[in-house]
Chains A and B, each alone.
Chain A
């Protein structure tokens, strides 16, 4: 299996966990089937019973849920190296939807191979367990975000989260990065209307803090953005030595 396919995952695990070169070899030897999808395509839907885990190799993936009145709530954004449906290894029926944000290269790893891997390599099991705990920590932060913060802080918070996580895998250029979410998608992630989101974008631009431009996000003043967003990166647990 080509090393490039697995590299974003290894990069992240290397930075955030204690996996050894031996563990890395086992991960690299996983049988992975790749698939290319366009933006806005469904990977898995509510009620599905997947038999493989989906690894994001390139592009961004969204986890979301449709609520009663047909409105979509985005639950999480996933980047290269993430396994958005890792839970399907133990929770067999999917309780939300997984779809692509933009054109994606995805890798599918059979559950049987994942199970063998975590049984034979305890440090990998620990690393993936840690991954699901960080996932839960991010969900806790999103509850605080949507439940308590102003729309401006919510957007700033989500942007900083994406920025910090992309930085970990070397996908930022200074304080600019590519994240092609439309205002509709951002609105669905922070629980506002699109026009309210539009207002927030104007406000952040007016304050000289943040610029959104055709899929490129530039943080103009990181200190100010961190302050107005009530952002503290602890919940991302990026540093395993802490």
Chain B
């Protein structure tokens, strides 16, 4: 089975024109997760917060894998600003 993995994040979206032969939907899910985590590294370091990988087969769209970054502050933002001040 040939699967296609399109990506969309805070900055760019890219269509997969090549696709990849994988044995099963479960393998496609794992591959999509792999793509999402690797793209997330680039997106998050550029202050983005989300990556969506949409998985298609030859005929239709199958599912999304969404990776979102969540920040939870344990102090106020003002406190952090003070800490970072040289």
Contact = CB atoms under 8 A, between A and B. Distances in A.
Nearest to B11: A203
B14 A195 contact: yes
A222 B30 CA distance: 37
19 contacts: A150-B42, A151-B39, A193-B5, A193-B31, A193-B38, A194-B16, A194-B18, A195-B7, A195-B16, A195-B18, A196-B14, A196-B35, A196-B42, A198-B14, A198-B17, A199-B14, A199-B42, A203-B11, A203-B12
A198 B41 CA distance: 16
B1 interface: no
Interface of B: 5-7, 9, 11-12, 14-18, 20, 31, 34-35, 38-39, 41-42, 45
A198 B16 contact: yes
A119 interface: no
A145 B7 CA distance: 23
Contact of B39 (A183, A196, A202, A206): A196
Q: How large is the interface on A (under 10, 10 to 19, 20 to 34, 35 or more residues)?
A: 10 to 19
Contact of B35 (A195, A200, A203): A195
Contacts of B9: 199
Among A150, A198, A199, residue most surrounded by chain B Cβ atoms (within 10 Å): A199
Query: Which 9 A-B pairs have CB atoms at the shortest separation, nearest pair first?
Result: A198-B14, A195-B16, A199-B14, A193-B35, A194-B18, A199-B12, A195-B5, A150-B42, A195-B7
A196 B38 contact: yes
A193 B14 contact: no
A70 to B, nearest CB: 10
B18 A183 contact: yes
Nearest to A202: B12
Contact of B45 (A150, A184, A200, A202): A150
B7 A199 contact: yes
A195 B6 contact: yes
Given A193-B34, A193-B35, A202 B14 contact: yes
